[in-house]
């Protein structure tokens, strides 16, 4: 009889975990609080480390059908518009790291994972049901769903996001850390923009206390823009209105170059709108016990929510799921030891990405002499500063052993 894993959360991490667990020979039951699978409109960058994992799951063709594959990453000054540095992507990324650098609509990434789960696994998908709590005794985990039903399994995976109930019960009440950064996000059809505002590359604009990222998604048909500024978050972080005031955004960009202001103004001119998110994270993971205890493990944002300044939030969740697949396949080990192996092989890499993401945010938003030194360094060293070999080459799968 196959072992059964219960999964809290049906986002990118939860679906990837279901796919990995099923490939490890487990039966998966996934519980999603929402009444229907959906992902809000936003872009996601996938480095070669993540694309290789999707390829290993046989998802290269579905990825090619929905993603964009930018030819380069360009860094520009938000104040002058001057190009500071360039990192070649496209074929260069394939040659260096064995896979492309992709940019994708979050809903498209979620959709291709959901299609793979439905087509290639026998995962039971339970919508409009959350896992509210669990008990762990004698190697069996029992969950209570939001419908009052008790379900038993051999393991529980918490993939229920930043406000994870699984995490709270496993590790205690630890509220996410408010970053002081606000993200304005927009998606706009490229055909609705003037030709001069369309893009086929990733562009990062760096300015004092702010930065902007733009890139194509959905085969290049849409442009994703993210403007991150410093400011106070709403008091109610879990329940609030995401609509954003375009005038507030334009005010935040006063003093930036004309080219950047035109790119941002083009969203509204093309009939698009802005949505606002306060960015939260947690301190870097401090050890394997923060990712797995007994027959319960955490992955993705439930384990290591991070700031988006290394573009690896979704990527680390997918890498987690890949390592879970390897760990769950070790049928000669008992389940707690398998999950311990998973945590040992993931926590340091996740902690490093979390720390680097926070550090990047400080560099992106630098002011005064630090900003000047950053710009000079980018002009002189360019590609060497932008490339991240330690990240793109690996996935943490051989970080430790038992």
Q: How many angstroms separate the Cα of 128 from the Cα of each of 32, 146, 160, 196?
A: 6, 8, 14, 44
Q: How many angstroms separate the Cα of 368 from the Cα of each of 206, 209, 213, 251, 286?
A: 13, 11, 22, 21, 33
| Whether the Cβ atoms of residue 85 and residue 22 lie closer than 8 Å to each other | no
Can you tell me the distance from the alpha carbon of 157 to that of 300, in angstroms, rounded to the nearest whole number? 10
Q: How many angstroms separate the Cα of 264 from the Cα of each of 197, 397, 400?
A: 9, 40, 45
Q: What are phi and psi of 120, to 5 degrees?
A: -110, -5
Can you tell me the distance from the alpha carbon of 115 to that of 118, in angstroms, rounded to the nearest whole number? 5
- Helix residue ranges, H only, 130-288: 165-171, 246-252, 258-269
The residue from 101, 184, 215, 342 that is catalytic is: 215
Catalytic (active site) residue 184? no
Cβ burial 216-234 (10 Å sphere, 16+ → b, else e): bbbebebbbbbbbbeeebe
Q: Quick one: which of 24, 315, 356, 45 has its CA closest to 157?
A: 24
Q: Quick one: which of 86, 380, 314 has its CA closest to 204?
A: 86
- Residue positions annotated with a catalytic role: 215
């Amino acid at each position: 009889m196959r072992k059964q894993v219960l999964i809290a959360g049906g986002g990118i991490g939860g679906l990837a975990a279901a796919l990995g667990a099923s490939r490890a020979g487990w039966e998966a039951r996934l519980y999603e609080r929402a009444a229907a699978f959906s992902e809000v409109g936003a872009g996601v960058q996938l480095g070669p480390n993540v694309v290789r994992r999707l390829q290993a799951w046989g998802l290269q063709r579905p990825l090619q059908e929905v993603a964009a594959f930018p030819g380069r990453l360009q860094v520009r000054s938000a104040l002058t518009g001057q190009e500071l540095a360039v990192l070649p992507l496209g074929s260069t990324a394939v040659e260096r790291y064995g896979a492309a650098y992709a940019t994708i609509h979050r809903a498209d990434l979620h959709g291709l994972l959901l299609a793979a789960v439905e087509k290639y696994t026998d995962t039971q998908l339970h919508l409009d049901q959350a896992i509210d709590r669990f008990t762990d005794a004698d190697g069996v985990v029992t969950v209570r769903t939001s419908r009052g039903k008790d379900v038993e399994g051999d393991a529980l995976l918490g993939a229920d996001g930043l406000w994870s109930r699984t995490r709270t019960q496993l590790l205690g009440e630890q509220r996410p850390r408010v970053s002081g950064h606000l993200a304005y996000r927009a998606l706009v059809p490229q055909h609705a923009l003037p030709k001069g505002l369309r893009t086929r590359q990733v562009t990062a604009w760096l300015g004092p206390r702010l930065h902007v990222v733009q890139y194509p998604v959905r085969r290049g048909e849409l442009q994703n823009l993210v403007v991150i500024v410093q400011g106070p978050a709403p008091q109610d972080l879990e329940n609030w209105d995401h609509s954003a005031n375009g005038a507030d955004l334009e005010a935040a960009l006063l003093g930036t170059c004309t080219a950047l202001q035109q790119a941002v103004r083009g969203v509204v001119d093309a009939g698009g709108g802005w949505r606002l998110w306060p960015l939260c994270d947690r301190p870097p993971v401090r050890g394997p016990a923060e990712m797995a205890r007994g027959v319960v493990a955490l992955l993705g944002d439930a384990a290591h929510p991070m700031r988006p300044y290394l573009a690896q939030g979704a990527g680390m969740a997918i890498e987690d799921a890949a390592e879970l697949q390897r760990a769950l396949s070790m049928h000669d080990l008992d389940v707690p030891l398998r999950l311990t192996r998973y945590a040992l092989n993931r926590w340091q890499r996740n902690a490093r990405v979390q720390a680097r993401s926070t550090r990047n945010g400080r560099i992106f938003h630098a002011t005064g002499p630090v900003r000047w030194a950053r710009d000079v360094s980018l002009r002189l060293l360019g590609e060497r500063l932008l490339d991240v070999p330690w990240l793109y080459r690996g996935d943490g799968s051989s970080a430790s052993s038992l």
